[in-house]
Every structure is written in structure tokens, then in C-alpha cells.
Amino acid sequence: MSGEGLNRNISLLYAARFCGNLIFFVPVIVIFFQSQGLSMTRVMVLQTAFALAVVALEIP
């Protein structure tokens, strides 16, 4: 593989890592849950459960 191809792959890797860590859905999902009748307390409980599941199930 040429040096140019490797540099492109490294750039793509950085872009994928950056985009993978963006969490634009969080404000939208809170509004969605509230529109479905959930209180803010229940929304936060769901967010906590989601965060714990991500930590527990993440493959190292």
C-alpha cells in the first residue's frame, strides 16, 4: 500500500472517530420522550440506564 493510501486511511480513521463520538441525538430524544408523556425524572432514569448499558456492554 502506498504512503498516500495510508495517509488517507489515517485521515478517514480520525474523521470516523470524531463523528462516532458526537451525541446530537440526546437533546432530541429528551424532547421526544417528554412528548410521549414521560416526566423529566423518568427521562433521566432512561438516560442513566442507557449510559450504564453502554459502559457494561462495551467491548474493549
Per-domain boundaries in the chain: 23-60
Give the three cell numbers for residue 23.
451525541
Q: Is the per-residue pLDDT at 1 higher than 60?
A: no
Q: Is the per-residue pLDDT at 55 higher than 80?
A: yes
- What mean pLDDT value characterizes the chain? 86
Global pTM value: 0.59
Give the orientation angle of helix 40-57 with respect to helix 25-35, to 10 degrees.
140
Q: Is the per-residue pLDDT at 57 higher than 80?
A: yes
Q: Is the per-residue pLDDT at 3 higher than 80?
A: no
